[in-house]
Chain A
Amino acid sequence: MAQDNVLFSEEFLRQIEHLTMLTRGPVAGHLRGHHRSRRTGSGMIFTDYRPYSPGDDTRNLDWGTYLRLDRLILRLFEEEADLPIYIFVDVSRSMEFGTPSKFDFARRFAAAIAYIGLINHDRVSLVAFSDGVVEEMPARRGKSQVWRSLHFLERLRAAGGTSLQTAFRGFFGARRTRGLVVLISDFLDREGFERSFQVIREYRHDVFAIHVSSPEEVEPALADEVLLVDSELGHATRTRVTPDLIKAYRETFLNYCAEIEGFCRSHGWGYLRASTQSPLEKLVLKALRDEGLLR
């Protein structure tokens, strides 16, 4: 049964308050924030000079240059903007498996990332998806939105199949500011993950994939003759589980994970394989920092 409480300890919250999200390039946020953007304005980081035009902010005139050259030159600064963060949480039936369930694990992960984004005044959107977008929390900004985000996550229920492509097309089909897409899923999509990921690439978002897996998936404790029923599709496969078959399954599963990781790495995306047995706090405080998502 899914665990509804996604709250964290005070200690953990204190620790992650000091973290900020990182992106691999300038962001395209519209509001003031802490992230570099392509726009110039009233930031702190000098980028260039240009001749003064009437109406420009005279506070940015370079008076030293004027004294030497007798010309009015304006200093330009990189404007810091907020970061649009789209956190996609997989709520398909396959996420219900494992102890603790992948679904709970994903929700807690999403909550942690949303928390970090919100306290850094980034615009955080939460998207629950299965075989399409199930529910969406529009972009929120500021620490005051933390409880709203947590409440959104707590209300989610696992249901339906998995279609990353449908979900991405449905969400990004509407005009969305380019930002950071955090995918939290088991990626068990029969349509394949490559096409879905290509959709995100089309919109040129920065992506970080968190691949959630349970120990039962890696080392299934099956023996003898079994009828394997797919939780999403419901179809059954009868097979005799042998040590050789288990070994082959393990290899295939690891290969599948490696394929996803390979795709992400090759396109400059971040990737983290997260086992539900691993402590979430450790993953957030260390693994995500190691992978370059947090600082």
Chain B
Amino acid sequence: MSVQALPPYLALALIAVAAIVALLYWLKPPPRTIVVASSLVWDRVLRESHPSPDRLRWWLSLLLATLIAAMIVSAVLPPSAATPGAAGSTLIIVLDNSPTMATRTTDGATRWDHAVARARALMESRAVGTQVWLADSMRRVATPAFRNRDDALAQLASLQVSYGLAPALPFPEQFAAIEAIVITDGVSLGPVPAHVRLESVFESVENAGITAFEVRALPADPRRYLAYVELFNASGVEKRIELTVVGVGGKRISRVVSVAPNSPRNEMVDISDFGGGPVRASIAMPGDGFAIDDVAYSILPAHRVMRVALVTDGNAFLEKSLQVQPRVNMTVIAPARYADDRNYDAIVFDRFAPKARPHVPALLFRPSRAEWLPPRHKEIANVSATSWNTVHPLLENISLLDLSVDRAAVADLRGRTQDAEAVLASRPGGEPLIVAHEGGVRWVSFAFALDDSNFALHAGFPIFLNNALNWMWGEQAHIKRGLGVVEVPVSDARVMTADGTELPTHSTGGGSLFEVDVPGLFTVVSAHQRLRLAVNLLDRRISDVNNSRLAQVKPDPEALIAAKRSFAFDPWFALLLAAALLLLFEWWSWNRRMTV
């Protein structure tokens, strides 16, 4: 620390204090003159003992007094004035706020807490005029810029661990010459430029997490359901983990499993007895340092058999596809014999449409003309779908990329103003190939017959049928998302948590955005739609919190001490404490006549 680096008034104050202390030392009274009977014994004593030279003790005493006074002056002046560093200097600090930074370390604080403390200590160690470029790996700071130190400190307080994005370092190339520090645990962060200094907050902890959670019907028996859970042990030793699956109606299944170190383990839990609705899987392991991945949610569909009528002159492919659908009890009816629809839960029309709108949901493939359907516009041939709504529940997990249609009768939606009709897929001219009606009784209409396209040959066709039947029947659709910023295909949606709290949302073109940072079940509600949303972490790369490139790097003890000190003390307190300790030392040394 140089005097030139101090603020001028602080430097002047310190010089003045030092001068006063030195003056007081020079003004000390001369030693008392004591006449003794004889100095014979004293001379012997002084010859045999070797007291430290007076001048040395005087200087030591002066140094101590000056230090004590300087510390007290520095402490009572405004804290910022006491901070060393050159005004006008610049510093780049990037904090890694990827999910693994939420890992709790042995001292009870998280890696993120340590990183923030380290960043604060770094900034506070610089002069007031220092310009700090503060950014984070998850781009919370949308537009990082050089700010003064105090503003950067305020900005630091607003940062938090984030989810959903791939962590990245937003280093502008033109700043390569500026001192740059990245504070990270080294788990998720990618390559770091050579000129950047890495400050590690990594500390190995024990962790187990759920990295996959699915609820599926047994293919052999669609009425039976299994919960598929993948557990991952990120600890260095084998762990016994208690897995608990909880469902509607107080159903609960627990088991304790052993998982090898740094290995996954798959568990299947029969939840056929559970009622339809939310299912929660959780794990418990003593000393678990990362809680976000200890719980996951899903939805168990209701176990009901759906009565479906297939109205066709004969379509063996469609007939077989419907028959293999779980929970479907299918009846084939010829169009001529179609009369009453009230005995069915849903009807599939193949190249036929009744004159009146059915009372139950309907799936139509190239329907004949009917008043309740959009009018036909024209016949087109050799078409393919160029755009489709990937977030609609009907097309979830469906790709129409290879769809090839020989001929289709596209409808004209221009005259229709019903908001409830949505185009799910369209060809280059914009003519709709798939139209869905959501108002009142639902229906879905394909502009082409299955025989005129290769759609039935797609791997996703059975999935589409399942999606369609569930959607039409009003089975509450549910979707899954990861933590972070979540987008749902519902415009102007309201998002409610399980306890009824409404989350703030932002509408986008065809959906809504909101942010979730803990796993949970949410309900997305709009005027025409209601969705269940399960948000989970389920990412082994994140659960593997010890897979750090900095695992071999020993933390800098001085940096750790500095960070811990910044937790406990403000600078003025530390200075006062140091002054008190020096006073204590001065008293001790004076009593032993080491000082004057």
On A, residues with C-beta under 8 Å from B are 93-98, 102, 162, 186, 188-190, 214, 217, 220, 222, 224-233, 235-245, 248-249, 252-253, 256
Contact = CB atoms under 8 A, between A and B. Distances in A.
B593 A242 contact: yes
Which 4 residue pairs of A and B lie closest in terms of their CB atoms, listed nearest first? A242-B593, A188-B38, A94-B37, A225-B31
B39 to A, nearest CB: 4
A236 B46 CA distance: 13
A252 B46 CA distance: 10
B154 interface: no
A26 B118 CA distance: 97
Given A248-B48, A248-B49, A249-B41, A228 B34 contact: yes
Residue in A95, A102, A226 with the greatest tally of chain B CB atoms within 10 Å: A226
B596 A240 contact: yes
A215 to B, nearest CB: 12
Residue in B33, B35, B38, B41 with the greatest tally of chain A CB atoms within 10 Å: B38
B189 to A, nearest CB: 60
B43 A240 contact: no
Contact of B51 (A230, A235, A240): A240
B44 interface: yes
B44 to A, nearest CB: 5
B463 to A, nearest CB: 93
Interface in B21-66: 30-46, 48-49, 51, 54, 57
B430 to A, nearest CB: 102
Given A239-B46, A252-B45, 19 more contacts: A93-B37, A102-B37, A162-B38, A186-B37, A188-B38, A217-B37, A222-B34, A225-B32, A227-B31, A229-B35, A230-B38, A231-B37, A232-B37, A236-B33, A239-B42, A240-B593, A245-B49, A248-B49, A252-B44
Contacts of A96: 37
A229 B33 contact: yes
A226 B34 contact: yes
Interface in B570-596: 591-593, 596
Contacts of B591: 243
Residue in A96, A189, A248, A256 with the greatest tally of chain B CB atoms within 10 Å: A248
B596 A249 contact: no
Given A227-B31, A240-B593, A233 B37 contact: no
A245 to B, nearest CB: 6
Given A242-B592, A245-B51, A237 B46 contact: yes
B48 A240 contact: no
30 contacts: A97-B36, A186-B38, A188-B38, A188-B40, A214-B37, A217-B37, A220-B36, A222-B34, A226-B31, A226-B32, A226-B33, A227-B30, A229-B35, A231-B38, A232-B37, A237-B43, A238-B54, A239-B42, A239-B46, A240-B54, A240-B593, A243-B592, A244-B593, A245-B45, A249-B41, A252-B41, A252-B45, A253-B41, A256-B40, A256-B41
A253 B36 CA distance: 14
Nearest to B46: A239
B32 A235 contact: no
Given A224-B31, A248-B49, A252-B44, A240 B37 contact: no
A161 to B, nearest CB: 9
Residue in B32, B36, B591 with the greatest tally of chain A CB atoms within 10 Å: B36
Contacts of A189: 40
Interface in B212-259: none
Contacts of A190: 38, 40
